[in-house]
Structure 1
Amino acid sequence: MADHLLLGIDTGGTYTDAVLFSEASGVVAKAKALTTRHDLVVGIAGAVEAVLDQAKAPVSAISLVSLSTTLATNALVEGQGGRAGLVMIGFGPEDLKRDGLGEALGNDPVLFLPGGHNVHGHETPLDMAALDAALPDLAQSISSFAVAGYFAVRNPAHEQRVRDRIREVSHLPVTCSHELSSKLGGPRRALTTLLNARLVSMIDRLIGACEGYLDRRGIHVPMMVVRGDGALISAAEASLRPIETILSGPAASLVGARHLTGMDDAVVSDIGGTTTDVAILDKGRPRLDAEGAVVGGYRTMVEAVAMRTYGLGGDSEVRINDRGLTARLDLGPRRFLPLSLASTLHGDVVRTALERQLRASHVGRYDGRFAVRTGLPDNLASGLQSQEQALYDRITGVPLPLDQLLASTLQKATLDRLVGRGLVHISAITPSDAMHVLGRQDQWDREAARLGLELAARAKDGSGRPIADSAERLARMIVDRLTRQSCDAIMGACLAEDGVGAIDPAESLPVDRALLRRPGIVQFRIHLDRPLIGLGASAPVYYPAIANMLDTEQAIPFDADVANAIGAVVGQVRASATVFVTVPEEGIFIVGGSGESVRLLAEEEAFSLARERAIGAALHAAHLSGADEPAVTLAELIEAPEIEGQRKLVEARFTATATGRPRIAIDQ
């Protein structure tokens, strides 16, 4: 095949997607494999082998591999990661109280060293005696280091000296704060650096495993990873700065949406198995979170898409509140294993149990629910309490009906803790099962889905009537509920972007009247000012009704099911560098950032050096990130107010941005 093929991979909560993409003809082949959380490479290999087989393409045709992943995001949300040592230069213990730094640090060790710089880059002498004394023991108890210096973005010299000493003695990975952000705000920069250090070994394992698989398959080409702002970064740089890959998957979906639809302005909603992600496309670019991405409750200094994530997806738990006169359904936020999928994976065991429960004359509390191990390694189950261990030992890799597992309410709470640890999946009815019953999805076992919904429909509401008269009726109720909750999520994200986030669409009577088109003397209408792009494997079955309820144009691209993987290969490499010019005293100009501080006597000479340094640093970073022939733009912000008729320079900021497509392998 003469055309060079690009291989895009996306690891999601339920599926790992792969696409082979040609810049000349678009998607050549696409495939999905179930994500194997205990060993992500198994799912990746399954998806990649499927697209290679489908395309009948030799591996020699592949010239680039690009990966988007939710691994870093999930790790921070779940509080996972390696143990890191934090070295703070020029800060004191009181700084741990700011920006959640102390809370994030937990029991990990921290060292305070005298040193650092001021706003103009002038230093306080660095004293590494405490570091030298602690390093031999520290190196035995942690997996990486984070180094944050006072005003290091203006002069990184002390961070670099401490980094070099740590590497010399410990040979462990070290992250410096100036490598992650050029923004002021020491404690938040230290927090970002700490989180990055914790992720290094995890992302390193993922990238190493992917590279190992590609190497075994003879695919020796550049490998890229999607950053949280949608730009691409080389795998080597992602290993050094894994924090930049938080929100990688959602960012890739936005890039994919733009490419697939050609739309510059749109609301993008991506429904997966676990979550719905909503973001805004403006003038062809994703809106970024100006304050930095919030992940796991911590606001970082990482530029990432302004993405709002809701616990609502095709595999969401269906919660039935049957205490009122009419039953009420709510979906999520927990993810369940759909009965139709569990039956496909495990044969007749699921159907047999559902049929047994249907034959019973009474409705059982745990009807239609099963427990099954997730497949995580045994070492991740360490530290269980005795009752947790006893219950966990009874659960295997084959779904076990809860009516045979649980004997008391206390055991139900114990099971919930095992689910919370990620050790056990609950299998029960989900929107995916409802879609199978209605014939709108067909990839899994429809009969198991129908049996599960028949069981659930037997539950009685407050008036003593079954909540639905058939599996089909309950399926329509579930899908209607997903439509409404999706509208609430999309509306909530758009209202927040408009600055009126105080309005909760789920609680607002006017919003309810508008969405349901209720008649009245006063008519309420809701309409989005831009189209709704629906993404995800199930987008074609869910989003037409959602767009109709929101009274907006819909756009569901043909390859909506693999938009993330497409976004992973069509994105651009983008790198920025900022250099500052400050005036500590009349006639003295300090150039700082992207290197040592320089003192000059002429403003224009300082500006010229700052421009040159910013452009050079951006180009260097873009090349390190894998860009081929990047182009540079320069933005200048000069604060020079007129005071008593005299122009007075306060600060000048020069930001260069280098952008280009990633290098590809011309010949293997």
Structure 2
Amino acid sequence: MSLSLGLDTGGTYTDAVIFDAAAGLVVAKAKALTTRHDLAIGIAEAAGKALDRAGADPAAIGLVSVSTTLATNALVEGQGGRVALVMIGFGEADLDKAGLRNALGDDPVQLLPGGHDIHGRAKPLDLAPLEARIDALGADVSAFAVAGYFAVRNPEHEIAVRDLIATRTGRAVTCSHELSSKLDGPRRALTTVLNARLIGLIARLIAATRGFLAERSITAPLMVVRGDGSLVSAEFATLRPIETILSGPAASVVGAHFLTGRDDGYVADIGGTTTDVAILDAGRPMLDPAGAEVGGHRTMVEAIDVHTYGLGGDSEIHLEDGALEPELCLGPRRLVPVSLLETLYPGQIVPHLKRQLDSPFAGRLDGRFAVQAGLPQDQYGGLTRSQADLFARIGDEPVPLDRLLRSTSEVATLDGLAARGLVLVAGFTPTDAGHVEGRFDHWNTDAAHLGAALFARRKDGRGRPIAASPEALARTVAERLVRLSAERVLQTGLAADGLSDRRLLASPLVQRALDRSGHYVRAALLLDRPVIGLGAGAASVYPGVGGLLAIEAVVPDHADVANAIGAVAGQIRVSAMAEIVPDDESGGFVVSGAAIEPPRQVLRSEKAALEAAAAACRVAAAAKAAAAGAGEPEIDVRSDVEAVTLDDRRQFVSATVTATATGRPAAV
């Protein structure tokens, strides 16, 4: 019997399942806390428990596959390594396109003369400006991103820059032509920057998983779920971590389909940091033709059409600014629950909470703590003097913010360290509220009650406490989480119908429909499919969501590990593409594409160009499938030709040839 080990590493939990694909059964499952400072700890605990519960022989494990929300969460929270962007043939104005400058922040940029034209013909490349800075850049960043003008037609300049950087610095380098074959250079550069920023994160995940497999003598191939639900080898994913954004949501849709047998539904997966809502339609996840959008960044990554919201069990709870009767706001930032922090550091949190509660006045920093995240030293580059000073004062044990921060300005400094993922901030969260209500008992209930009491005594605009008791606050938080979750499902459905304006959700009619309010006029909204709730907290959230939206709510068995189940059910799917355009100089046809070799060819006839493009793409797709870990892939080649008729004569305009290889992983 061949078994599969499915893993999902989320922002809060790491899930593991032992899955019998032939029987379609979950043999065993387990959960453990995701240990961000050392992912190996959480992976070993979850996977080890699952293997032990299944009594599985390591030799029986034929496939290991991992899905993850780590990359998604990093982009939502603005985290990741410091990178340098090298742009070839672009100008300063291009940084203002596609949100590139905003994504870069204060990360360094180097512009170089060079690049290619639309036909793949090169302009002179000058490496001297980069050579003058490269040693300093290599010491300041953890990875490089390289984007060349029309590199999708000819990548030779990107390759030259990549080789120079790799030789001189030893840092990881991502080239834009490796990630997308589509035009729009600034957005391709944005995708490349985000990829470079995530390399260290995914590399640590894969290394941690491999370490566990070696300890257990498991020799099965290791795969990673991409954002479209397909699988690739771990080696492939290490070079292209951006393709793992929305990996977790993609796996959850596959898992939801398997667990419920439903072909249609809103698949809503609530985790610690985010809620992901996707649409299951006719048994398949809907894809986003424009490219995945995460954390406000529109990338060129082909992925499921999933809406990722900064809303989860560990969402930061804060008050609406300036209101007389402020609403509770949840997210988008994740905090470590105080109940968990006391469990991790016994006796170090509750005394400070009691001290703060004994004070007659509510402090703005009450109930908040900070602790170093324990990331590798190579992630510390680029800290300002104030950041370095504050980071050193935090240390590797929790410090209450009321004793850590010396000025108001240090709040922003701390936020900057947290955004880099170097520091974890803890506070009262919906997970703590669940402990106060008795719905959860995973962690320290005393810390949760004290955190709730501190938050409850905060004042509204009229100077009154926002809640009468910790229990009243916990109920309000739970209700708010259900309400916001319902709004996120509704927002996803409206967007799928082409109504993506976020102001629509806040309109009086929509809010009246959700409130069931109105006297002379009442509004109702009809959703066409059930909501399928997934995640560890699904049972406490989605029945209420179904009630608000007046639709069926389905929370299946094993909903808490649906992502891990979906991780072992996918296929490998990769493609290679070439473009054909007329050549004005020779009267022939130019075949170009970054994925083919050579990247630019001139043929005399349209037929010859199409045949050459198909053959080159087939070879390239087969090579990519092998690199992605496919066993015996099937390759399909499609040609899309655009032509017009002028004066009764057919005139060739352009053509796109795409080869797609699909297949199951080559399991042992």
Q: Distance in 2 between matches of 1:315 and 1:136?
A: 40
TM-score by length of 2: 0.87
Q: In the alignment, which residue of structure 2 is the partner of 1:625? A: 628
Q: Relative to structure 1, is the Cα distance of residues 258 and 634 closer, same or farther in structure 2, using a 3 angstrom cutoff?
A: farther
Q: For residue 626 of structure 2, give the secondary structure of its aligned residue in structure 1.
A: helix
Give 1:605's match in structure 2, choosing from 604, 608, 618: 608
Give per-residue Cα distances to partners, 1:465-485, cap 9 Å, x unaligned. 654454433322221111111
Q: Distance in 2 between matches of 1:157 and 1:63?
A: 39
User: Which is worse superposed, 17-26 or 469-478?
Assistant: 469-478
Does the alignment pair 1:41 with 2:40?
yes
Q: Distance in 1 between matches of 2:61 and 2:98?
A: 45
Q: Relative to structure 1, is the Cα distance of residues 410 and 291 closer, same or farther in structure 2, using a 3 angstrom cutoff?
A: closer
Give 1:6's match in structure 2, choosing from 4, 29, 53: 4
Q: Distance in 1 between matches of 2:625 and 2:495?
A: 33
1:168-247 matches, cutoff 5 A: 173-247=172-246
User: Which is worse superposed, 94-103 or 214-223?
Assistant: 94-103
Q: In the alignment, which residue of structure 2 is the partner of 1:510? A: 509
Q: Distance in 2 between matches of 1:41 and 1:577?
A: 35
Indicate if the aligned counterparts of 2:314 and 2:335 stay in contact, CA closer than 8 A: yes
Using the TM superposition, give the Cα deviation of residue 650 of structure 1 relative to its aligned residue in structure 2, in angstroms.
0.8
Amino acid across the alignment from 1:112: L
Q: In the alignment, which residue of structure 1 is the partner of 2:122? A: 124
Q: Distance in 1 between matches of 2:17 and 2:429?
A: 28
Q: In the alignment, which residue of structure 2 is the partner of 1:595? A: 597
Give 1:616's match in structure 2, choosing from 601, 604, 619: 619
User: Which is worse superposed, 269-278 or 177-186?
Assistant: 177-186
Indicate if the aligned counterparts of 1:87 and 1:145 stay in contact, CA closer than 8 A: no
TM-score by length of 1: 0.87
Q: For residue 224 of structure 2, give the secondary structure of its aligned residue in structure 1.
A: strand
Give per-residue Cα distances to partners, 1:305-360, cap 9 Å, x unaligned. 333222221122333569877664332233233233233333355445555666x5
Q: In the alignment, which residue of structure 2 is the partner of 1:274? A: 273
Give per-residue Cα distances to partners, 1:257-306, cap 9 Å, x unaligned. 23322333322211111221222233333333322233454433222233
Q: In the alignment, which residue of structure 2 is the partner of 1:18? A: 16
Q: For residue 301 of structure 1, give the secondary structure of its aligned residue in structure 2.
A: coil
Q: Distance in 1 between matches of 2:35 and 2:112?
A: 41
Q: Distance in 1 between matches of 2:569 and 2:397?
A: 39
Q: Distance in 1 between matches of 2:283 and 2:613?
A: 30
Q: In the alignment, which residue of structure 1 is the partner of 2:667? A: 664
Indicate if the aligned counterparts of 2:637 and 2:657 stay in contact, CA closer than 8 A: yes
User: Which is worse superposed, 516-525 or 152-161?
Assistant: 152-161
Using the TM superposition, give the Cα deviation of residue 8 of structure 1 relative to its aligned residue in structure 2, in angstroms.
1.8
Q: Distance in 2 between matches of 1:413 and 1:194?
A: 24
Q: For residue 574 of structure 2, give the secondary structure of its aligned residue in structure 1.
A: strand
Q: Relative to structure 1, is the Cα distance of residues 636 and 220 closer, same or farther in structure 2, using a 3 angstrom cutoff?
A: same
Amino acid across the alignment from 1:612: A
Using the TM superposition, give the Cα deviation of residue 165 of structure 1 relative to its aligned residue in structure 2, in angstroms.
6.5
Q: Relative to structure 1, is the Cα distance of residues 503 and 134 closer, same or farther in structure 2, using a 3 angstrom cutoff?
A: closer
Q: For residue 577 of structure 1, give the secondary structure of its aligned residue in structure 2.
A: strand
Q: In the alignment, which residue of structure 2 is the partner of 1:564? A: 563
How many residues align structurally?
658
Give per-residue Cα distances to partners, 1:475-507, cap 9 Å, x unaligned. 222211111111222222222222222253652
Indicate if the aligned counterparts of 1:492 and 1:504 stay in contact, CA closer than 8 A: no
Q: Distance in 2 between matches of 1:533 and 1:168?
A: 50
Q: In the alignment, which residue of structure 1 is the partner of 2:638? A: 635
Q: Percent of pairs identical after alignment? A: 50
Using the TM superposition, give the Cα deviation of residue 180 of structure 1 relative to its aligned residue in structure 2, in angstroms.
1.7
Q: Relative to structure 1, is the Cα distance of residues 189 and 520 closer, same or farther in structure 2, using a 3 angstrom cutoff?
A: same
User: Which is worse superposed, 255-264 or 477-486?
Assistant: 255-264
Using the TM superposition, give the Cα deviation of residue 662 of structure 1 relative to its aligned residue in structure 2, in angstroms.
1.2
Amino acid across the alignment from 1:110: Q
Using the TM superposition, give the Cα deviation of residue 444 of structure 1 relative to its aligned residue in structure 2, in angstroms.
2.4
Using the TM superposition, give the Cα deviation of residue 194 of structure 1 relative to its aligned residue in structure 2, in angstroms.
4.1
Using the TM superposition, give the Cα deviation of residue 210 of structure 1 relative to its aligned residue in structure 2, in angstroms.
2.8
Amino acid across the alignment from 2:597: G
Q: Distance in 1 between matches of 2:322 and 2:163?
A: 65
User: Which is worse superposed, 209-218 or 584-593?
Assistant: 584-593
Using the TM superposition, give the Cα deviation of residue 373 of structure 1 relative to its aligned residue in structure 2, in angstroms.
1.1
Q: Distance in 1 between matches of 2:260 and 2:535?
A: 14
Q: In the alignment, which residue of structure 2 is the partner of 1:78? A: 78
Using the TM superposition, give the Cα deviation of residue 541 of structure 1 relative to its aligned residue in structure 2, in angstroms.
1.1
Amino acid across the alignment from 1:60: A
Q: Distance in 2 between matches of 1:102 and 1:369?
A: 36
Give per-residue Cα distances to partners, 1:513-566, cap 9 Å, x unaligned. 111212423221012112211111000111000011111122212111112222
Does the alignment pair 1:441 with 2:409?
no
Q: Distance in 2 between matches of 1:320 and 1:150?
A: 46
1:246-645 matches, cutoff 5 A: 246-295=245-294, 297-320=296-319, 328-352=327-351, 354=353, 360=358, 362=360, 364-365=362-363, 369-377=367-375, 383=383, 389=389, 393=393, 397-398=397-398, 400=400, 419-420=418-419, 422-454=421-453, 456-458=455-457, 467-504=466-503, 507-585=506-584, 588-593=588-593, 594-596=596-598, 597-645=600-648
Indicate if the aligned counterparts of 1:435 and 1:479 stay in contact, CA closer than 8 A: yes
Give per-residue Cα distances to partners, 1:165-202, cap 9 Å, x unaligned. 66677766544333221112233333433443444454
Q: Relative to structure 1, is the Cα distance of residues 557 and 115 closer, same or farther in structure 2, using a 3 angstrom cutoff?
A: same
Amino acid across the alignment from 2:626: H
Give the gaps of 5 or more residues in structure 1. Answer: none
Q: Distance in 1 between matches of 2:160 and 2:447?
A: 63
Q: Distance in 1 between matches of 2:610 and 2:321?
A: 70
Q: Distance in 1 between matches of 2:436 and 2:413?
A: 32
Q: Distance in 1 between matches of 2:318 and 2:261?
A: 38
Amino acid across the alignment from 1:595: E
Q: For residue 303 of structure 2, give the secondary structure of its aligned residue in structure 1.
A: coil
Q: Distance in 2 between matches of 1:151 and 1:201?
A: 28
Using the TM superposition, give the Cα deviation of residue 587 of structure 1 relative to its aligned residue in structure 2, in angstroms.
6.3
Q: Relative to structure 1, is the Cα distance of residues 352 and 321 closer, same or farther in structure 2, using a 3 angstrom cutoff?
A: same
Q: Distance in 2 between matches of 1:189 and 1:340?
A: 42
Give per-residue Cα distances to partners, 1:378-398, cap 9 Å, x unaligned. 956784656984696377625
Amino acid across the alignment from 2:590: I
Using the TM superposition, give the Cα deviation of residue 113 of structure 1 relative to its aligned residue in structure 2, in angstroms.
4.4
Indicate if the aligned counterparts of 2:456 and 2:473 stay in contact, CA closer than 8 A: yes
Amino acid across the alignment from 1:294: E
Amino acid across the alignment from 2:475: R
Using the TM superposition, give the Cα deviation of residue 95 of structure 1 relative to its aligned residue in structure 2, in angstroms.
4.4
Give 2:657's match in structure 1, choosing from 647, 650, 654: 654
Q: Highest Rg: 1 or 2?
A: 1
Give per-residue Cα distances to partners, 1:390-442, cap 9 Å, x unaligned. 69637762564x66667876776666566555455444432222223333223
Amino acid across the alignment from 2:315: S
Amino acid across the alignment from 2:346: G
Amino acid across the alignment from 1:336: L
Q: Relative to structure 1, is the Cα distance of residues 426 and 114 closer, same or farther in structure 2, using a 3 angstrom cutoff?
A: closer
Q: Distance in 2 between matches of 1:442 and 1:362?
A: 30
Q: Distance in 1 between matches of 2:159 and 2:387?
A: 50
Q: Distance in 2 between matches of 1:617 and 1:390?
A: 50
Give per-residue Cα distances to partners, 1:147-172, cap 9 Å, x unaligned. 44443333445545665666677766
Q: For residue 656 of structure 2, give the secondary structure of its aligned residue in structure 1.
A: strand
User: Which is worse superposed, 30-39 or 495-504?
Assistant: 495-504
Using the TM superposition, give the Cα deviation of residue 664 of structure 1 relative to its aligned residue in structure 2, in angstroms.
0.8
